[in-house]
């Protein structure tokens, strides 16, 4: 296995395709819409990855049929749009890979499901997930990063190790996991918590408040992951704690920035307009996560306050609501 097709030419999909292409893999990147793909193929530069050009070996296409022959497919589409886009694309081909790896983060608003749950019946193949603390521009510039590849049990250990070797590079370290549930939930929930971290930053509430938020946020993440069948060690690993630390503290984080804008007094609409075309996945995930929590009897106080914040609650009232909750044991 040496051929990879990446479907989705956002910053993350393009960064991953570039990493794998530079590492000697045969990589095809499907870009949509067609105008974007043509521009990307001609200029060899991505507007959100300005610090370099695409490797010459990376093939950019605008017709998904040109990517279907690859050994392995990687879905880098926006979470909420992924099921619909895949259903539409697969009408044009009978080909299927042995498995699909997705690299998107979030919970579906319509079903409250994880992306692997939605994509598996559409493709009729096993679906894994690649996630972890990694900003697209840093990966694109070949700065060191480590992520986790979670694969379902029907992918054998030997196949898993082959995939690990395929996707890893000297600057992009890949760890293996069997906890698809936990990795997907961690990748979704950390975005919600990052919005809260941005709020604290805007209100100048200090490092102690941020440390408390992140610690209690991990506790929320652990409760939901455990209740839905994930593993506690995943929460304390790259997909959980690692990605949360990056997204809640890194200045490149879209979710953190969105929380800052709300904390500075912007309305939801104003903050969304300020973000331009960047997807703030935590906004979409928050209500879905809370719905999952309510269905399973899990308490997510931080997530609940993020939703109230997005619905227009005064930022300082949101903080007070968390601080004045009934006292309890840790």
Q: What's the chain's length in residues? A: 330
Cβ within 8 Å of residue 289, ≥6 positions away: 107, 188, 189, 192, 224, 300, 303
Burial of 62 (C-beta count, 10 Å sphere; 0-12/13-18/19+): middle
From the candidates 190, 287, 317, 328, which is the catalytic residue?
Answer: 190
* DSSP designation for 242: I
Number of H helices, E strands in the chain: 15, 8
Burial of 109 (C-beta count, 10 Å sphere; 0-12/13-18/19+): middle
- Residue 188's Cβ-side half-sphere holds a number of Cα atoms within 13 Å equal to 32
**Cis ω for the linkage preceding 154 (within 30 of 0):** no
- Residue 55's Cβ-side half-sphere holds a number of Cα atoms within 13 Å equal to 21
What is the enclosing helix (H) or strand (E) of 285?
A: helix 281-296
Residue 226's φ and ψ, nearest 5 degrees, are -65, -40
**98 noted as active-site residue:** no
Cβ within 8 Å of residue 12, ≥6 positions away: 76, 103, 136
Strand partners, 117: none
CB 210 within 8 A of CB 329: no
Catalytic residue numbers, as ranges: 190
């Amino acid at each position: 296995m040496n051929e990879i097709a990446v479907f989705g030419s956002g910053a993350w999909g393009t960064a991953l395709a570039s990493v794998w292409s530079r590492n000697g893999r045969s990589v095809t990147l499907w870009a949509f819409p067609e105008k974007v793909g043509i521009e990307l193929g001609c200029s060899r530069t991505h507007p959100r990855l300005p610090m370099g050009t695409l490797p010459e070996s990376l093939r950019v296409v605008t017709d998904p049929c040109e990517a279907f022959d690859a050994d392995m497919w990687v879905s880098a589409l926006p979470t909420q749009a992924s099921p619909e886009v895949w259903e539409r694309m697969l009408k044009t081909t009978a080909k299927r890979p042995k498995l699909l790896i997705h690299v998107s983060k979030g919970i579906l608003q319509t079903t409250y499901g994880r992306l692997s749950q939605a994509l598996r019946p559409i493709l009729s193949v096993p679906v894994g997930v690649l996630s972890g603390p990694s900003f697209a521009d840093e990966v694109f510039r070949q700065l060191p990063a480590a992520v986790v590849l979670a694969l379902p049990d029907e992918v054998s250990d030997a196949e898993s190790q082959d995939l690990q070797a395929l996707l890893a590079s000297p600057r992009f370290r890949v760890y293996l996991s069997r906890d698809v549930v936990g990795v997907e939930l961690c990748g979704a929930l950390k975005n919600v918590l990052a919005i809260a971290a941005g709020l604290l930053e805007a209100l100048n509430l200090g490092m102690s408040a941020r440390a408390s938020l992140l610690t209690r946020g991990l506790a929320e993440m652990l409760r939901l992951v455990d209740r839905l069948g994930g593993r506690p060690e995943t929460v304390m690993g790259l997909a959980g704690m690692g990605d949360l630390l990056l997204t809640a503290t890194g200045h490149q984080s879209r979710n953190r920035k969105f929380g800052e804008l709300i904390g500075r007094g912007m309305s939801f609409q104003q903050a969304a307009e300020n973000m331009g075309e960047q997807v703030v996945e935590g906004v979409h995930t928050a209500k879905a996560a809370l719905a999952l929590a309510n269905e399973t009897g899990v308490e997510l106080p931080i997530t609940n306050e993020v939703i109230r914040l997005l619905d227009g609650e005064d930022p300082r009232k949101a903080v007070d609501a968390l601080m004045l909750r009934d006292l309890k044991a840790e």
